[in-house]
Structure 1
Amino acid sequence: MIKAGIIGGSGYTGGELIRILLNHPAVDINFVYSTTRAGKKVTSAHPDLLGVTELEFTGNVNPDVDLVFLCLGHGNSSKFLKANTFSSKSKVIDLSNDFRLMNDANFLGKQFVYGLPELNKNKIIASQFVANPGCFATAVQLALLPLASKGLLGNAVHVNAVTGSTGAGVSPTATTHFSWRNNNVSWYKPFTHQHLGEINESLSSLQPDAGELFFLPNRGNFTRGILATAYTQFKGSESEAKQLYASYYSDALFTQLTDDPIHLKQVVNTNQCHIHIHKHKDTLLITSAIDNLLKGASGQAVQNMNLMFGLEEGDGLQLKAGVF
C-alpha cells in the first residue's frame, strides 16, 4: 500500500482527493494536514464523507510517507517545502501553480515534471516530483495538443471557457457567494489568465511557431465543470481533423472523442475529458469539457500517482457522471 499524506486537506481539491483515495485499492491515507482544522474530524470540512471515514486533520506531518500531495494555495507549496523535509524517497505531487512553468520547475534540487499525462506520460512515469496542471490549462491543452503536434496552430487561436464556482476555492469572495453568482455570468482576467503560461509552454514544446492564443475565461452560475470552445483556421476537412484527434488520443484513457455535441453533466464527477470537433468554412471549432476538481485537479493528480507508482492508470478513477 502507498502511504500518502495530504497537505491542505480542508479545501475543495483536498476533499476530492480524500474521497478518491479512500476508495483507491493501493493507497492508505497516512495523514491529512491542516493548520486551521487540526484535531477536528475530516467530516467537519467534508460532510459528504460522513460514515465513510473517521480520519482527523492533524497539524503534524510524517516525513516518511511514500507520497505527498500538496493541495495548497498558489505560492504556498514552495513555502511549505522550504519549511518541511520529507524522505529522499518520498514523491511529491503539487496541485498549485508553483512549479508548472519551466523557470520554476527546479526547486531545492527537486525537478518537477509537468503532469499532463496526454503530453508527458513517459516523463511522469519516471519522475519523483510532478506539477499538476491547472484546470483551465487542462481543458484548453487537451483541445489543442493534437493540432500543435502536427504544426497546425500557425494562426491565432481563440478560446472561450466557462468554469464553475469551485474553481475559485472554498473561501467565499465577492464573486463566488451565492447571491452574486446565482443567475449570473461574467468574464474575468481577459487575455491575461495565469494558466496561459503553462498552456503556451506546452503548445510551444510541440510547435515552436504556434500562433497567439487569445483566452477569455468566464465565471458560470454552477458549481463544477469547465466547458471550453477553441477555434482557429484549419485547411483540412472535418473528417481529417477527427482522424488527427483520434490518432493523438488513441492511448489516452480519459480523453474521449464524440460525434455528438457535448455538455458539462456528462463529465462532472469524473476524470474524463470529452472532445467534440466541428468545421465551419475554414474554421475548426474544438469543444472540450472536464470537471475542474477532478480531471482539472485531484483526479488528474491520482492519475499521475498511478503512473508514478507503476499502477494501472485508471485505478480509483472509474467514476460515473450524474447526468440527471
Structure 2
Amino acid sequence: MKPNIGIVGGGGYAAGELIRLLVNHPGVTIEFVYSRSQGGKPITSVHQDLVGKVEMDFAESVNPEVDVIFLCMGHGNSRSFLEDNPLPDDTKIIDISRDFRLSKDAEYKDGKRFVYGLPELNHEKIKTTDLVANPGCYASAIELALLPLASEQQLKQDIHVQAITGSTGAGRKPSKSSHFSRRDGNISIYKALNHQHEGEIKESIRSLQNDFDQKLNIIPMRGNYTRGIFVTAYTKTDLEEKQAIELYNDFYSDAQFTYVSSDRIHLKQVVNTNRCMLDLQKLGDNLLITSTIDNLLKGASGQAVQNMNLMLGLCEDAGLQLKASYF
C-alpha cells in the first residue's frame, strides 16, 4: 500500500505546488488537503492549474492517521497547530515554515527534535528522522553557494550576497510589494543586512566550519517576475578557480539536484525544477559564486518532496523529474 499524505494549510502557493507534485508522484497517495479558510470547496477553485488532475475538496478537519503530514501554514503557526492537534508518534512531519529550523527552536516533544532539511547537508540524518524542518528559499540558494567552502574551512573573510526573488516569494496573499502595478517593470531592496534566513544560513555554515564568525552581508531584492531566486555571492579566498571548481564538484558529486556548470548560468535553467545550478569565477582575490533555484520547488515544495522521499526510503528524485521552463 502506498503511504498516505496529508497537507495542512492547503491554500497557498507552496501547497499548490506540493499538491501538483504529489498527485503525479508514483509512490504516495494524497489522503487530505486541509484548509481552514477553504474547507468544503473544490481544491481546483483555488489551484486552477489542477483542473482535470484533482477531484478532491479541501478537508474541513485533519485526519491524523496518515503516514506523512506536510505543514504549509504561515510562519509561527506550525508549532501551535501541533500543540492543538496531537499526532501519532510515528507520523512523519515536514514543516515548510521556519518554526523549527533553528537549533534553539528544533525541540518537538519527548526529546525529539526536527532535523534541518537540506539534503546536501543532512542527507543521512533526514533518512532516519520523522521530523524535518524544510529550509527557507533564500537559505537554500545561499547555503548551496557557500557550504563547499565551509567544508574546507575556506570562509575566512566577510561574505557579500545579493539575491533577487520573484513575486511568489511574498506568498499568495496580496500585498503592496506584490501588487502588479508596483512589481511590473520594477525592482526594489528589502530587509537589507537583516533577512530572516540569516540565522539558519549561519547555523548551516557552522555545522561544517564551527569557528565561522565573519559577516554575512545579504541584500535581498524583489524582481519583476514570478518564480526563482538568483544569488550572487563573493568572498576573498586563496583558492584558485580550478581548485574551487574541483571542491564544489567533489562536494556535490552525490547530490541528486545540485550541479556545477562550466558555463555562466541563468534563472530559466531552474524554473519549474527542483534543481540548483551553480557557477564559479575567480575575479582578483574574490571567488564569485552564482546560485539559482526555483523558490517554490527547491526553495520549498520540491525540496519537501525530496525530503519525504528520503524519509520513506523512496528514490530521492521520485516525482521530481521536471523539465525547466526554458522558453
The alignment's TM-score, normalised by the length of structure 1, stands at: 0.99
2:234 is aligned to 231
Shift of 1:170: 0.1
Q: How far apart in 1 are the matches of 2:139 and 2:245?
A: 22
Shift of 1:55: 1.1
SS in 2 for 1:58: coil
Shift of 1:113: 0.3
Query: Could you tell me which amino acid in structure 2 is paired with residue 141 of structure 1?
Result: E
Q: How far apart in 2 are the matches of 1:218 and 1:129?
A: 31
Aligned: 1:67 with 2:68: yes
**1:98-131: CA deviations, max 9, x gaps?**
0000000002334100000000001000100000
**1:217-248: CA deviations, max 9, x gaps?**
00000000000000000112100000000000
**1:158-194: CA deviations, max 9, x gaps?**
0000000000100000100101111110010011100
Q: How far apart in 1 are the matches of 2:228 and 2:36?
A: 28
Query: Could you tell me which amino acid in structure 2 is paired with residue 87 of structure 1?
Result: P
For structure 2, the 5+ residue unaligned runs are: none
Quick check: 2:280–2:288 contact (8 Å CA) kept in 1?
yes
The alignment's TM-score, normalised by the length of structure 2, stands at: 0.98
Aligned: 1:273 with 2:251: no
Q: Among 245, 257, 268, which residue is 2:248 paired with?
A: 245
Quick check: 2:100–2:133 contact (8 Å CA) kept in 1?
yes
2:102 is aligned to 101
Shift of 1:59: 1.4
Aligned: 1:312 with 2:315: yes
Quick check: 2:156–2:237 contact (8 Å CA) kept in 1?
no
Aligned: 1:257 with 2:266: no
Q: How far apart in 2 are the matches of 1:188 and 1:107?
A: 32
Identity %: 58
Shift of 1:89: 1.2
Aligned: 1:11 with 2:12: yes
Query: Could you tell me which amino acid in structure 2 is paired with residue 191 of structure 1?
Result: L
Q: How far apart in 2 are the matches of 1:80 and 1:223?
A: 30
Q: Among 285, 289, 305, which residue is 2:288 paired with?
A: 285
1:295 is aligned to 298
Map 1:1-324 onto structure 2 (within 5 A): 1-109=2-110, 110-210=112-212, 211-324=214-327
Query: Could you tell me which amino acid in structure 1 is paired with residue 233 of structure 2?
Result: A
SS in 2 for 1:175: helix
SS in 2 for 1:159: strand
SS in 1 for 2:114: strand
**1:47-76: CA deviations, max 9, x gaps?**
000011101101111111000000000000
Shift of 1:209: 2.2
Shift of 1:87: 1.6
Quick check: 1:154–1:209 contact (8 Å CA) kept in 2?
no
Q: How far apart in 2 are the matches of 1:26 and 1:322?
A: 25
Query: Could you tell me which amino acid in structure 2 is paired with residue 143 of structure 1?
Result: A
Query: Could you tell me which amino acid in structure 1 is paired with residue 9 of structure 2?
Result: G
Quick check: 1:269–1:321 contact (8 Å CA) kept in 2?
yes
Quick check: 2:230–2:293 contact (8 Å CA) kept in 1?
yes
Note the aligned Cα RMSD (angstroms).
0.7
SS in 2 for 1:107: coil
Q: How far apart in 1 are the matches of 2:3 and 2:136?
A: 25
For structure 1, the 5+ residue unaligned runs are: none
Shift of 1:259: 1.2
Q: How far apart in 2 are the matches of 1:59 and 1:71?
A: 16
